[in-house]
Chains A and B, each alone.
Chain A
Amino acid sequence: MLLGPSLAVSAILFSLGVAGVLLRRNAIVLFMCIELMLNAVNLTFVALAQLYGAGGQIMVFFVMTVAAAEAAVGLAIILAIFRHKQSVDLQNINLLQG
């Protein structure tokens, strides 16, 4: 069954993703940390789907689709920013700072 251990691993992975978002300045690594968080949530869905039916596993499909769409659009935005600034460091992206 392994429900509790799965949820604990998921919690640790999610927190590592949050730590990555807070620590890194590279926009692409930031995106990878977001993927890590989505994966952690997927683990929760699969762990609970053992008990409560296939709905959890189907939700994982939708999360994966959203993650793929988000990666495609986000990386296109990063490409556009890189053409503009020659950098993906978030410290150099300060157009809205006034």
Chain B
Amino acid sequence: MTAAVFWFFAAVAVLSAALCILQRSPVSAALWLVSTMFSLAAIYVLLGAQFIAAIQVLVYAGAVMVLFLFVIMLLNLGRSASDIRGPGAVTTAVVVVGLLVGELIALWRYTPHRLAAELAQAAPFSDPSVVFAAGDIARQESQARGVVGGIAAPLFQVYLVPFEITSVLLLAAIVGAVVLAKRKA
């Protein structure tokens, strides 16, 4: 059952992404991208990351894509001639993307156990059972502390400094966006 739901949303995500890059109108491209993001949120729920799924819908599908739609409509880009590049670029894209898909799918053969075994052979790295603790950690943590608590505890303990640096990044982005978009007086 879970697998069927997963494949349904995976197909929706991939189809929407393909339509997103092929739509002529930027508004339709943005709406297909929203569809991809919703499907990804559903997949996150299946993968045991319910809180990330909620954030995905709120931040990505909600805030970021609304920002995109605002700019598209502000610039009045509704209907324009096709902006897909010529045959040379299409050939380049097909070659590059083919290679990339081949490489990434080839990585699929790497199961955690195989990777751990190769690491153990390669060098005095460390004990593979320490590097790759026995699986299913996310489910155990969310059962012990709840879905949000399992993320909140490490976020505000182990990752506290990166979290604070992120706030500086956001401040810089706000200031930068205001300065860039401000009309010169």
Contact check, A64 vs B59: say whether CB atoms are below 8 A apart.
yes
* Interface size counted on chain A using CB atoms at 8 A: 68
Query: Which of A32, A53, A70, A79 is B74 in contact with, Cβ under 8 Å?
Result: A79
Q: Give A10-38 interface residues, CB cut-off 8 Å to B.
A: 10-20, 22-26, 28-29, 31-33, 35-36
Contact A58 B159 (CB under 8 A): yes
> Known: A80-B181, A89-B83. Contact between A17 and B6, CB under 8 A?
no
Chain B 169-185: CB-based contact to A (< 8 A → 1; otherwise 0): 11011101110110100
> Are A39 and B60 in contact, CB atoms less than 8 angstroms apart?
yes
Q: Is the interface of B mostly helix, strand, loop or mixed?
A: helix
A93: CB under 8 A from chain B?
Answer: no
Cβ proximity bits A71-95 to B, threshold 8 Å, 1 near / 0 not: 1110111111011000011000000
> A interface, by DSSP: helix, strand, loop or mixed?
helix
Q: Would you call B119 an interface residue if the criterion is a C-beta within 8 Å of the partner chain's C-beta atoms?
A: no
Q: Which of B90-121 contact A (CB under 8 A)?
A: 90, 92-93, 96-97, 100-101, 104-105, 107-108, 111-112
By a CB distance below 8 angstroms, the chain A residues around B29 are 29, 32
A18: B residues at CB distance < 8 A = 93, 96-97, 100
Give chain B interface residues in 108-160, CB to chain A under 8 Å. Answer: 108, 111-112, 132-133, 135-139, 141, 150-151, 154-155, 158-159
Chain B residues lying within 8 Å of A25, measured Cβ to Cβ, are: 83-85
Q: Whole-angstrom distance between the alpha carbons of A4 and B115 in the complex?
A: 14
Among the listed A36, A66, A79, A83, which residue makes an inter-chain contact with B33, where contact means beta carbons less than 8 Å apart?
A: A36
A residues sitting closer than 8 Å to B (CB atoms) are 1-2, 4-20, 22-26, 28-29, 31-33, 35-36, 39, 42-43, 46-47, 49-55, 57-58, 60-62, 64-73, 75-80, 82-83, 88-89
Given A26-B26, A49-B138, A55-B159, 7 more pairs with CB closer than 8 A: A1-B135, A19-B21, A29-B26, A49-B49, A68-B64, A77-B180, A79-B75
